[in-house]
Amino acid sequence: SFTDSSLSERKRRDREERLNVVLWRQPLITLQYFFLETLINLKEWTIKLWHRRSILVAFLLMLAVLTAMYYIEGTHQQYVRYMEKKFFWCAYWVGLGILSSVGLGTGLHTFLLYLGPHIASVTLAAYECNSVNFPEPPYPDQIICPDEETTEGSISLWAIISKVRLEACMWGAGTAIGELPPYFMARAARLSGAEPDDEEYQEFEEMLEHAETAQDFASRAKLAVQNLVQKVGFFGILACASIPNPLFDLAGITCGHFLVPFWTFFGATLIGKAVIKMHIQKLFVIITFSKHIVEQMVSLIGAIPSVGPSLQKPFQEYLEAQRIKLHHRSDSGVPQGENWLSWMFEKLVIVMVCYFILSIINSMAQSYAKRLQQKMYSEEKTK
């Protein structure tokens, strides 16, 4: 008992020491550890690729064939350009989805920063243009109303949902891929019998030990998620993945710990996040940014005593500027200056991306600090 308590006390001290390895406390050490951890990871990935060199050679051959098709002139070029555009568009949203859920400790909230505003802009454009037949190109880089005549109120909710379905589903698929690391970590720990120094996994094991005596709401909520996933299986994972659920990492750890088959976990997660949950979120954004609701929100802002009119004016200017931009009438009399709302949003995106990059640097530096602590501990055991 004394040995166990001293070991847990040492682990606690080591964890506190690692948490101090951040840029704003120890900048030089943090940067040094970050670069060393990057080199170690590159070496490990190189060794893994060398062991799977047959797959790597096949991939390089396929890439060479695709490159030749890309540069050789012929009638197939129109299909090549179309597939290129679709591939990079899908890869962009899948990457944003992965960044949102994996995060290396701090996820980048790409739904609020990218997908949500994109759906909102398409919704506003659809109601303004009474159509979703935006010309390609320039859409999606720039949305301009089509020249065709349309009747007022001809746009439907289903048409807007269909217009943004591809990017929304790709983003949801990316979030499902980002949920795989906790699953693989817990599965590897269970199969090898090792005890990884991961806070979420340790919290999960402590929850299993004290499951009967847990009284607080957070512990009971986590226990409910764990029981649902363990007992119901595929449909339990599907239910957890289909709703906004901050505890879903626990579902991944639970599935890995109890050796749930990979395709059961990933299939349920993919359907829940890329199909069910994304349609719920998409519907919410589209309804929120429908034309009549936006106009009511702007009028309600103007009804606020004393400060209402001054707050209402920039919103009205922003909406009017968007309407003019959609119809491509840059020669109109409305000023084309930058709106403070768009300026604030741009700065918010820059701040959040910078914080995300800082969190990655801190996380990798702490991983290297953990390597040093484990090396020191193993040397002490061998003495």
Which is more confident, 173 or 101? Answer: 173
Inter-CA distances, 194 with 33, 186, 211, 212, 291, Å: 25, 10, 22, 25, 56
Question: Average pLDDT of 109-122?
Answer: 82
Whether pLDDT at 167 is above 60: yes
> Cβ distance 290 to 223 under 8 Å?
no
Taking residues 346-367, what's their average pLDDT? 82
Dihedral, CA of residue 329, residue 330, residue 331 and residue 334, to nearest 10: 100
- Residues, the chain, total? 383
Residue 39 pLDDT > 90, yes or no? yes
> Would 38 be classed as within a structural domain?
no
Give Cα separations from 247 to 7, 82, 103, 165, 182 (angstroms).
Answer: 29, 39, 15, 26, 12
Mean pLDDT over 275-295 rounds to: 83
Q: What is the pLDDT of residue 61?
A: 94
Report the 10 Å Cβ neighbour count for 234.
16
- Own/partner contacts of 355-360, CB < 8 Å, gap of 24 or more, are 355/106, 356/99, 356/103, 356/106, 356/107, 356/108, 358/23, 359/103, 359/104, 359/105, 359/106, 360/104, 360/105
- pTM summary value: 0.72
25/369 Cα distance (integer angstroms): 15
Residue 197 has pLDDT above 60, yes or no: no
Buried b (16+ CB within 10 A) or exposed e, 44-71: eeeeeeeeeeeeeeeeeeeeeeeeeeee
Share of the chain above pLDDT 90, in %: 10
DSSP 49-75: HHHTHHHHHHHHHHHHHHHHHHHS-ST
34 part of a folded domain: no
Mean pLDDT of the 34-52 span: 90
With a cut of 60, say whether residue 71 has pLDDT above it. Answer: yes
pLDDT confidence tier of residue 311, bands split at 50, 70 and 90: confident
Q: What is the pLDDT of residue 335?
A: 45
Is 186 a domain residue?
A: yes
The candidate with the shortest Cα–Cα distance to 205, out of 215, 213, 220, 195, is 195
With cut-offs at 50, 70 and 90, classify the pLDDT of residue 12.
confident
Given a contact cutoff of 8 angstroms between Cβ atoms, the answer to whether 301 and 326 are in contact is no
Using 50, 70 and 90 to split pLDDT, how confident is the model at 34?
very high
Q: Tell me: pLDDT of 32 over 80.
A: yes
Tally of domains in the chain:
1
pLDDT at 235 over 60: yes
Whole-number Å distance between alpha carbons of 251 and 200: 11
Q: Tens of pLDDT along 368-380? A: 888 888 888 877 7
Q: Which amino acid is at 48?
A: K
Give the tens place of pLDDT for each residue, 133-150: 876 655 656 677 777 666
pLDDT band for position 334 (50/70/90)? very low
pLDDT at residue 332 greater than cutoff 50 = no
Q: Quick one: pLDDT band at residue 296, thresholds 50, 70, 90?
A: confident
More confident residue, 248 or 279: 279
Percent of all residues in the chain with a pLDDT value above 70, rounded to a whole number: 75
pLDDT of residue 113: 79
Asked if residue 373 is part of any domain, the answer here is: no
- Over the chain, what is the mean pLDDT? 77
Is residue 37 included in any domain, yes or no? no
On the question of pLDDT at 193 being above 80, the answer is no
pLDDT digits (tens, 9 = 90+) for 175-192: 899 888 888 887 877 776
Q: Among the ranges 100-109, 336-345, 366-375, which has the highest mean pLDDT value?
A: 366-375
How confident is the model over 315-334, as a mean pLDDT? Answer: 60
Q: Which of 128, 133, 194 is nearest to 163 (CA)?
A: 133
pLDDT of residue 337: 47
pLDDT at 94 over 70: yes
Q: How far apart are CA 244 and CA 242, in angstroms?
A: 7
| Range of weakest confidence among 87-96, 100-109, 374-383 | 100-109
pLDDT band at 271 (very low <50, low <70, confident <90, very high): very high
282-321 exposure pattern, b = at least 16 Cβ within 10 A, e = fewer: beebbeebbeeebeeebeebeeeeeeeeeebeebebebeb
Return the sign of the alpha-carbon dihedral for residues 264, 270, 272, 276.
negative
Within a domain: 175: yes
Say if 203 falls within a structural domain: yes
Q: Of residues 193 and 377, which shows the higher confidence score? A: 377
Residues of the domain holding 154: 92-289
